[in-house]
Amino acid sequence: MISCIIIEDQAPAQRILQRYINDYGNIELKGVFTDAIQALEYLKSNKVDFMFLDVHLPKLSGIDFLDVLTDKPLVILTTAFSDYALKGYELEIVDYLLKPFSFDRFVKAVVKANKHLGLNSNIQSDKPEADTILIKSGYNHIKLIIDDILYIKSDGDYTILYTSEKSYIVTYSLRHWEQNLPDNKFCRVHRSYMVNIPAIEEVSGSIIVINDTDIPIGRKYKEDFRRLFTR
């Protein structure tokens, strides 16, 4: 079993990584640190195979941390800002996860780490192949990985499915998605919005942030959302 640590100061992002690590299997999480100084002290006397490292951290940034760290484990960078990718690759990281990222994308990063460690990537997970749905958007039929859907917005007679890369307009209601998407991940939060819980970056008052988009939480849906989000 490979070992890792998480260096991330945002609690929602910590929860997502911990959930993905648990779902993946074959990874032992040794610790979760909210700043690079804590992690530096830990790594002085402990060894791990790789670490999930956020770029924006208090006290010492993730990039500066890598500059001063000696005998470092493999690194998977996590950040919401794509402009750090080039600098990350200069520091020879294994992979670069742009928030919010799906479980499928997480698995690809861990498989890369396995390969660097000389492990057989076939042991990557006990989970079956990612679940998909087939949608019709315009004249095209498209297969989407369910976990890649960040949120869904109602727009009159249509709904818009948003992923990190693009959006799709389909002739289904939000009610349809409530009935056909996994209710342990997707939650109706407003009369016009449904969200993928693991994709949430931040919750502030009655606002959810996903992919730099503010999504309101309706009073009617607040209790159910809180229960699912904090479980």
Count how many Cα atoms sit within 13 Å of the Cα of residue 164 in the half-sphere of its side chain: 21
Nearest to 215 by CA among 106, 173, 199, 156: 199
pLDDT of amino acid 59: 86
CB 174 within 8 A of CB 157: no
Nearest to 103 by CA among 168, 185, 218, 209: 185
Sheet (strand 207-210) strand order: 202-204, 207-210, 213-216
Q: Is the dihedral of CA 125, 87, 32, 97 positive or negative?
A: negative
**20: which 2 tokens?**
């993905």
pLDDT of amino acid 90: 54
Task: Tell me: cis bond preceding 73? Omega within 30 of 0 counts.
Answer: no
First to last CA, the chain: 27
Q: What is the pTM of this model?
A: 0.54
Nearest to 50 by CA among 117, 136, 137: 117
Per-10-residue mean pLDDT of the chain, 231 residues long, equals: 93 92 89 94 93 91 86 87 54 80 87 79 46 81 88 92 91 89 91 94 92 93 87 70
pLDDT of amino acid 125: 44
pLDDT of amino acid 71: 81
